[in-house]
């Protein structure tokens, strides 16, 4: 039985998609992403996959960290 994604998963996806589209991620956006991911004290599988994808894009330079 597959668990229903958490309510925060949609907002998290939107934030990550925006960062990918912009090719940048500000410090405040990163903090907001982490806050959304942790707000229900549980990071579900869908959220984990999105966070991993974002981390990979940051690591390979596709998405750059910027001040802000």
Q: Given a cut of 60, is residue 1 above it in pLDDT?
A: no
3-state secondary structure the chain: CCCCCCCHHHHHHHHHHHHHHHCEEEHHHHHHHHHHHHCCCCCCHHHHHHHHHHHHHHHCCCCEEECC
Residue 2 within any structural domain of the chain: no
Please count the structural domains in the chain: 1
Question: Angle formed by the axes of helices 45-59 and 27-38, to 10°?
Answer: 160
The verdict on residue 25 lying in a domain is yes
- Does a structural domain hold residue 33? yes
Q: For the whole model, what pTM was predicted?
A: 0.83
68: in domain = no
Domain of residue 15: give its range.
Answer: 8-62
Residue 24 lies in a domain: yes
Q: CA-to-CA distance for 14 and 54, rounded, in angstroms? A: 12
The 10s digit of each residue's pLDDT in 7-63 is 788 899 999 999 999 999 999 999 999 999 888 888 889 899 999 999 999 999 999
């Amino acid at each position: 039985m597959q668990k229903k994604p958490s309510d925060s998963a949609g907002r998290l996806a939107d934030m990550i998609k925006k960062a990918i589209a912009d090719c940048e991620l500000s410090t405040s956006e990163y903090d907001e992403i982490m806050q959304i991911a942790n707000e229900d004290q549980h990071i579900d599988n869908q959220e984990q996959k999105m966070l991993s994808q974002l981390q990979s894009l940051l690591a390979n330079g596709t998405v750059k960290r910027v001040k802000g």
